[in-house]
Every structure is written in structure tokens, then in C-alpha cells.
């Protein structure tokens, strides 16, 4: 059995927690307004994408790694409409995600190779 790198585990769980928390928070806000706008649906779908990406990365699915990179990259783009410090924080997270998820050990994990195999 292939060993999952700690960085993949940590990022996966971070995505699951942040995605689930975002989903609950945004759903609660929409519930309080007694309406669900189209942008609410989009935000809820993006939150679910984080949960799905994190859960399937734990299982070693390569597409989930790319979904997770796309998820944080989307946050970099969206943060341009808020503030430059927010852009910087999201860009930093994007770099951390990319470095951690594309290290050689992570590449082997997502390819399904044994870490000791050459």
C-alpha cells in the first residue's frame, strides 16, 4: 500500500474543514434571508468542491489534486475584488498548495506508485 504524504493529508483535511464550514456558514446566511440567490448556489458549490477535493485527495485521486489547485486559484482571482492583502494571502496559499501537492512523494502517491519503488 502506498503511503500518503503528511502534506497531502494536512491540505486535504484543511479543504474538508474549510469547505464544510463555508458551506454551513453560507447556507445559514441564505436561510436567514429566506432566499437562495444564484450567487449563493455558486458559493455553496465552490464550498462543496473543497470538501470533494479534500476527500478524494485522501484517496489518492489525481483529479482531486487539480480540483484543489483550481479551488485556491479561484480564490486568488476572486480576492482581487476585495483587497490586496487578501490577494497576497490567497496567493501564498496557492504556492503552498502547489509545492506540497506536486512534490515527488506526492506525485508518487497520486500516481499510485510505492514510495520505495524506483
Question: The whole model's pTM is what?
Answer: 0.86
- pLDDT reported for residue 35: 75
Q: Give the closest residue to 20 by CA, choosing from 46, 42, 51.
A: 51
Domain residue ranges in the chain: 6-111
Q: Can you list the alpha helix ranges (DSSP code H) found in the chain?
A: 6-33, 38-58, 62-79, 84-101, 104-111
pLDDT digits 0-9 by tens, 1-43: 578 999 999 999 999 999 999 999 988 888 878 777 778 888 9
The arithmetic mean of pLDDT across residues 59-70, rounded, is: 96
Q: Residues near 13 by Cβ (< 8 Å), separated by ≥ 6?
A: 54, 58
Measured CA to CA, the distance from residue 90 to residue 69 in angstroms comes to: 11
Amino acid at each position: 500500500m502506498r503511503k500518503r504524504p503528511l502534506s497531502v493529508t494536512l491540505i486535504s483535511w484543511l479543504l474538508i474543514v474549510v469547505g464544510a464550514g463555508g458551506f454551513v456558514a453560507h447556507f445559514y446566511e441564505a436561510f436567514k434571508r429566506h432566499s437562495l440567490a444564484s450567487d449563493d448556489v455558486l458559493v455553496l458549490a465552490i464550498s462543496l468542491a473543497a470538501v470533494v477535493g479534500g476527500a478524494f485527495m485522501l484517496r489518492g485521486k489525481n483529479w482531486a489534486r487539480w480540483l484543489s489547485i483550481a479551488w485556491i486559484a479561484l480564490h486568488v482571482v476572486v480576492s482581487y475584488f476585495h483587497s490586496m492583502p487578501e490577494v497576497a494571502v490567497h496567493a501564498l496559499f496557492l504556492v503552498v498548495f502547489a509545492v506540497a501537492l506536486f512534490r515527488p512523494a506526492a506525485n508518487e502517491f497520486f500516481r499510485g506508485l510505492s514510495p520505495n519503488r524506483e
